[in-house]
Amino acid sequence: MLFSSIPFLYYFLPGVLILYFLVPKALKNTVLLLTSLFFYAWGEPVYVLLMGAGILSGYVSGLLIERFRGKCASRVFLAISVTVSLGLLAYFKYADFFIESFRTVTGLPLSLLHIALPIGISFYTFQTMSYTIDVYRGDTAAQRNLIHLATYVALFPQLIAGPIVRYTDVAQQLSQRTHTLSRTASGIRVFVLGLGKKILLANTLGELCTVYQESQDKSVLFCWMYIIAYCLQVYFDFSGYSDMAVGLGRILGFEFMENFRYPFISRSITEFWRRWHISLGSWFRDYVYIPLGGNRVSRSRWLLNIFIVWMLTGLWHGAAWNFVLWGVYFAAFLIFEKLFLLKKLEQSRILCHIYVLLTVLVSFVIFGAADTGSAAETLGGMSGLTGLPFRSPEQMYYLRSYGGILLIAMIGATPLPKMLLSRLAERKTGAAAINIAEPILLAVLLIISTAYLADGSYNPFLYFRF
Amino acid sequence: MNEKTKNLVTVCLMAALLFGTAFWCWIKEADAYTSGERRTLAQFPKLTAEAVRSGDFMEDFEEYTVDQFPLREQLRSLKAFTALKILRQQDNHGVYEYEGHLSRNGDPVSEPMLTHAAERFQYLYENYLEGTNVNLYFSVIPDKNYYLAEESRHLSTNHRELVESMQSKLSFMSYKYIDVSQLLEAEDYYRTDTHWKQECITDVADHFASGMDITLEGKYTTEKLDIPFYGVYSGQYALPSEPDGICYLTSDTLSRCIVTSFSTGSPRESVLYNFEKAEGKDPYEFFLSGSEPLLTIENPHADTDRELVLFRDSFGSSLAPLLAEGYAKITLVDIRYMQSSMLGNFIDFEQQDVLFLYSDTLLNNSLALR
């Protein structure tokens, strides 16, 4: 079930909120767990058992790791737990990818398993792993209450699209959380803004991307329009979904980490990845990069660590070679920046923004391509060296039709609107105007988003495949 | 208003909106049909263990909740308003408004679709027409968008390219192409619909008559139906639009014509102008009762014994009566609604005039031809 869908907004969510706020405190997690399992089973009736197995494995492992803390057995149970999580991920997400790659290299007639990817498996397995690793490291106590742990893993706001919530961040909130008017209002605000980002911006930009993909009449201008639209679509799709998760969490008394912080204003790729999908970046940093030695090793080992982490980051996004290439592409830039470029980038503010935007745009050509061939085709088209015309009447039409939304999206991807509002709020009359307008604008945004849904607009969620 | 009041108003307003709408969704009785989109609406799906296991129930339930959402038509209008007037998009679901006309962006010429249409025509030719003394004619009706798009800067199907491509694909038969594109303009079509207006195509009928060497007196009285006609684009566009009116042409000859429908396989008396259909879901079905696989119009007082077989889409419904004067019998065949292989049971091709008359839109999306 998508957050940006009528069944979620007007059937599931109101039902959950009524139940959640009606039951006594002691039953709130039970309500959240049961409704989250229902939420998951709605899209994956069979795979809910798989998630249940993952939760149970994490729960038992956590207890055993703590029970045998300081002993060899503790390490064994951690290894078992991580192996189970990675095993689930490897089998359900990567098995066919590995088989196909092996088949291509060896020429052996192996048949694919054709396994359907369980929704959200990349998120909940990573959460389970972070829990057992944190227990092993002694960063947190093992959770003795199965319902609490299951609620943490299965909690519907972050279950299928993140952010990847660390157990240590919400451990306290699982047993003790407060619900206040200001937090609820703030949660509603973040949720509705995320919904608007997803439905009005990401989905509309997605229509333009579809037009490009289906068109036989490409041009240089069209290639650029496509990749700008695609880049913004992914950003608003994912950050919108993250916002909705954060907002829902806040309404339910949880505080999830911010997942995006205006990545397109970055002045280096290093900074970009501190602002884009923050929960994933920090997960890989804490559970892969630092355990590998981070930067406190020899230079060659350090570079290898970066390479490994980014190859895995790419692979996390999808079981295909273009995702691996995407990760390696960023690894190359990050290494280059760390070795040579960062200091030079500080010299020109404009050039470093151009550098980041171009690098990111090209990365999304790789990210969004069906295969490396079509990525090369789009890159060639963007370069203007493949003989494509600069523009055609058809593309000028799409530029007119989607120009407004592209402009809004580009401005919306910067902190400019927030800065303007902050400036306005500094004045007494401005603050009063914002206070009056805000609830009304939120209601209007919800109604317009609902109108788009009722119109049956284009609505897939891009990150489902992860 | 201070921060605390703002938070209170936010929570109360949004809660009222969320729970109020949700409650309405839960208790609202399901509608059966949407006139705006001219389709039946999804109903609550059957709940079975298999449907749940396969995920079909969830998929159907989502469709049901969207289709049955309270005030859906108004919300569709709000969406269209947001897209067209606020975000300044050029069309809503491909439909746009220009100088009072609603029209749809045209698709690029689709060679596979034209090939499919040509293959169906080839089947007809090889099985029924080849070796007979029939006179073959072919004509393509431009989409209304063809006359609007250049000025309104929207996308249109390249009519000339489509015709040239189609002609090259029909090289297996010898025929005369009758070009009507110069005789038409946007005003000859309904403002809210894809079809042409019967009262505006008498010159088109004359042109066909001249092309097929028949004589039409062409004296008609124009009558107007007392119903508003919201064409197919009206519902798709979703913003309020003024309705069209439906006019139709009558004459002594037309009043004496005998119309026979073969939609059930056996002959059944029908009418040129179906007043019951005019009040139905698609008032354009007023002309020759809409979707009919096989119809004949007999003109008992014709000065000739010539016959016409018209392979057609819905545009033919309003044109055929205007050709009735020139023929003793017109047989209208719509191979979207009948198998071409069945045609031999109903028509003996000998020396009739045979006209393939199709619109740009149908040829460029021809999978319905059977």
pLDDT digits (tens, 9 = 90+) for B315-352: 999 999 999 999 999 999 999 999 998 888 888 888 89
The predicted model gives B35-59 an average pLDDT of 89
Residues in a beta bridge with B357: B139, B312
Distances (CA, A) of A311 to A104, A270, A322, A325: 20, 16, 11, 8
Of A124, A155, A151, nearest to A50 (Cα)? A124
Cβ atoms A74, A68 nearer than 8 A: yes
Which has the closest alpha carbon to A135: A60, A54, A85?
Answer: A60
Nearest Cα of chain A lies from the Cα of B314 at a distance, in angstroms, of 28
B50 in reach of chain A (CB within 8 A): no
Q: Parallel, antiparallel, or unpaired: how do β-strands B307-312 and B329-333 relate?
A: parallel
pLDDT of A465 strictly over 60:
no
First to last CA, chain B: 68
In this complex, the residue of A46, A408, A452 whose CB is nearest that of residue B79 is A452
CB A446 within 8 A of CB A192: yes
pLDDT category at B298 given cuts 50, 70, 90 is very high
In the prediction, which pLDDT does A113 show?
85
pLDDT for position A245:
95
Query: Between chains, do A435 and B82 touch, taking CB under 8 Å as contact?
Result: no
- Please answer whether residues A342 and A352 qualify as being in contact, where contact means their C-beta atoms are separated by less than 8 angstroms: no
Alpha-carbon span A256 to A248, nearest angstrom:
10
Per-residue pLDDT at A437: 93
Which residues in chain B are contacts of A251 at CB distance < 8 A? none
| Nearest Cβ partner for B17 among A15, A446, A448 | A446
| Residue from B5, B13, B14, B34 whose CB has the most chain A CBs within 10 Å, to mutate | B14
Q: Taking residues A1-8, what's their average pLDDT?
A: 92
Q: What is the pLDDT of residue A179?
A: 92
Q: Quote the radius of gyration of chain A (alpha carbons, Å).
A: 23
Among A248, A236, A275, A244, smallest CA distance to A259 is for A275
Note the pLDDT of residue B92. Answer: 92
B 227-286: CB under 8 A from A: 238
User: What average pLDDT does the segment B32-59 reach?
Assistant: 89
Q: Any idea which of A105-109, A244-248, B252-256 has the lowest mean pLDDT?
A: A105-109
Cβ neighbours of B14 in A, within 8 Å:
188, 192, 439, 442-443, 446
User: Is the Cβ–Cβ distance between B41 and B68 less than 8 Å?
Assistant: yes
If you measure CA to CA, which chain B residue comes closest to A2?
B62
* Interface residue B48 vs chain A (CB under 8 A): no
pLDDT exceeds 50 at position A203: yes
- Would you call A451 and B66 a contact, using CB atoms and an 8 Å cutoff? no
Nearest to A7 by CA among A397, A464, A450, A463: A450
Q: Do A217 and B6 touch (CB under 8 A)?
A: no
Beta strands in A109-246 (DSSP E): none
Say whether A113 sits in a helix, a strand or coil: coil
Give A32 to chain B, closest Cα distance, Å: 19
User: What is the per-residue pLDDT for A149?
Assistant: 95
Residue A423 has a pLDDT of 93
Chain B residues whose beta carbon lies within 8 Å of the beta carbon of residue A13: 18, 22
Tell me the mean pLDDT in the region B294-306: 91
pLDDT in tens, B79-99: 999 999 999 999 998 999 999
Contact between chains at A404 and B89 (C-beta distance less than 8 A): yes
ipTM over 0.85: yes
Q: Calculate the average pLDDT of chain A.
A: 91
B14 touches chain A (CB under 8 A): yes
Which phi and psi angles does B18 have, rounded to 5°?
Answer: -65, -55
Alpha carbon of A174: minimum distance to chain B alpha carbons (Å): 24
Average pLDDT over residues B226-255: 92
Which chain B positions have a beta carbon within 8 Å of A438's beta carbon?
6, 10
pLDDT value of position A466: 46
Q: How far is A143 from chain B (nearest CA, A)?
A: 32
Q: What is the per-residue pLDDT for A1?
A: 83
Q: Is the CB of A189 inside 8 Å of chain B's CB atoms?
A: yes
Q: Which amino acid is at A301?
A: R
Across the interface, whether the CB atoms of B53 and A45 are under 8 A apart is answered yes
Among A320, A330, A327, smallest CA distance to A359 is for A330
Residues 395-414 of A with CB under 8 A from B: 397, 400-405, 408
Proportion of chain B above pLDDT 70, given as a percent:
100
% of chain A exceeding 70 in pLDDT: 98
Please judge whether B88 and A443 are an interchain contact, meaning their C-beta atoms are less than 8 angstroms apart. Answer: no
Of chain A, the percentage scoring pLDDT greater than 90 comes to: 71
pLDDT tens-digit series, residues A298-315: 989 999 999 999 999 999
Confidence at residue A459, expressed as pLDDT on a 0 to 100 scale? 43
Distance between CA A457 and CA A93 in Å, rounded?
A: 29
pLDDT (average), residues A60-86: 93
pLDDT score of A314: 93
Tokens of A449: 């988003």
Contact B72 A1 (CB under 8 A): no
Beta bridge partners of B189: B196
CB contact under 8 A, A443 and B66: no
DSSP 3-state of B314 = coil
Q: Which residue of B has its CA nearest to A398?
A: B90
Per-residue pLDDT, A464: 46
Annotated active-site positions of A, please? 317
Q: Which of B223, B302, B234, B5 is nearest to B97 (CA)?
A: B234
**3 state DSSP class of B281:** coil
Is residue A394 less than 8 Å (CB to CB) from chain B?
A: yes
Closest C-alpha among A184, A317, A185 to residue A238: A317
Question: Chain A residue closest to B90 (CA)?
Answer: A401
Q: Checking DSSP bridges between strand B353-359 and strand B307-312, what pairing results, if any?
A: parallel
**Comparing B190 with A338, which gets the higher pLDDT?**
B190
Is residue A66 very low, low, confident or very high in pLDDT (cuts 50, 70, 90)? very high
Answer yes or no: is pLDDT of A350 > 60: yes
Taking CB atoms and an 8 Å limit, are A439 and B154 in contact across chains?
no
pLDDT for the residue A125: 93
Q: CB-side exposure of B205: number of CA atoms within 13 Å?
A: 27
Q: What pLDDT score was predicted for residue A458?
A: 42
Burial of B67 (0-12, 13-18, 19+ CB in 10 A): buried
pLDDT band at A461 (very low <50, low <70, confident <90, very high): very low
A45 to B155: CB separation less than 8 angstroms, yes or no = no
Distance CA A127, CA A153 (A): 7
With bands split at pLDDT 50, 70 and 90, how would you rate the model's confidence at A185?
very high
Report phi then psi at A281, rounded to 5. Answer: -60, -45
Over residues A334-348, the pLDDT tens digits come to 999 988 887 777 778
Q: What is the pLDDT of residue A392?
A: 86
- Mutation target to probe the A interface, by most A beta carbons within 10 A, among B1, B104, B239 is B1
Above 80 in pLDDT, residue A44? no
For residue A321, give how far its alpha carbon lies from the nearest alpha carbon of chain B (Å): 30
List of chain A residues whose C-beta atoms are within 8 Å of the C-beta of residue B150: none
pLDDT at A398 over 80: yes
Q: What is the mean pLDDT of residues B192-204?
A: 95
Lowest mean pLDDT among A317-321, A354-358, A400-404: A317-321
> pLDDT-derived band of residue A295, with 50, 70 and 90 as boundaries?
confident
